[in-house]
């Protein structure tokens, strides 16, 4: 479970909110297999951190980021991106490189994420 789950009041000022330049290939233009970037849950990151990270990396609206954060907290994993393998790997690497949560002293590094072939029976 994410740390301090009850604190969803807003963004802490020291959370990075800069935007990455993520320009994925449109899904309609991808030939071949689709890939998922999957965020894995832990106890060392707050909702504020995860929401801010997803917004900064993928450019999603804050409401979508909150919904993804709630899902990873309750299910242990969530698909945060579906697209080409190269773009899915970029998303994973951006998550892995995002850094620790400055709101929690016990946070020592980034969240974990993996890339898997998309299960097209599962919603993205």
Q: Give the per-residue pLDDT at 4.
A: 42
Asked if the structure places residue 111 within a domain, the reply is yes
Q: What is the pTM of this model?
A: 0.82
Residue-level pLDDT at 24: 83
pLDDT of residue 2: 54
Task: Report yes or no on 14 lying in a domain.
Answer: no
Confidence tier at 8 by pLDDT (50, 70, 90): very low
Top pLDDT among 6 and 112 is at: 112
80 falls within a domain: yes
Task: Look at residue 86 and tell me if it is in a domain.
Answer: yes
Range of the domain at 94: 37-117
Split into its structural domains, the chain has a count of 1
**pLDDT tens, position by position, 19-55:** 567 788 888 899 899 999 999 999 999 999 999 999 9
Q: Is residue 5 part of a domain?
A: no
Residue 107 lies in a domain: yes
The domain that holds 70 is classified in CATH as 3.30.1390.10
Q: Is residue 103 part of a domain?
A: yes
Most confidently predicted of 4-8, 9-13, 99-103: 99-103
Query: Which of the pair, 11 or 112, is modelled with greater confidence?
Result: 112
> 16: which residues sit within 8 A by CB, 6+ positions away?
52, 53, 56, 98, 99
Q: Per the domain annotation, does 7 fall within a domain? A: no
């Amino acid at each position: 479970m994410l740390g301090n789950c009850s604190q969803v009041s807003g963004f802490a000022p020291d959370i990075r909110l800069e935007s990455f330049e993520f320009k994925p290939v449109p899904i309609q233009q991808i030939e071949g297999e689709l890939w998922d970037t999957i965020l894995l849950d832990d106890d060392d990151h707050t909702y504020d951190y995860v929401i801010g990270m997803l917004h900064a990396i993928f450019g999603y609206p804050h409401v979508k980021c909150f919904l993804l954060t709630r899902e990873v907290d309750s299910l242990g994993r969530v698909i945060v991106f579906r697209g080409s393998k190269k773009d899915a790997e970029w998303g994973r690497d951006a998550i892995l490189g995002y850094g620790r949560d400055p709101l929690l002293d016990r946070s020592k590094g980034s969240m974990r994420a993996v890339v898997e072939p998309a299960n097209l029976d599962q919603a993205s």
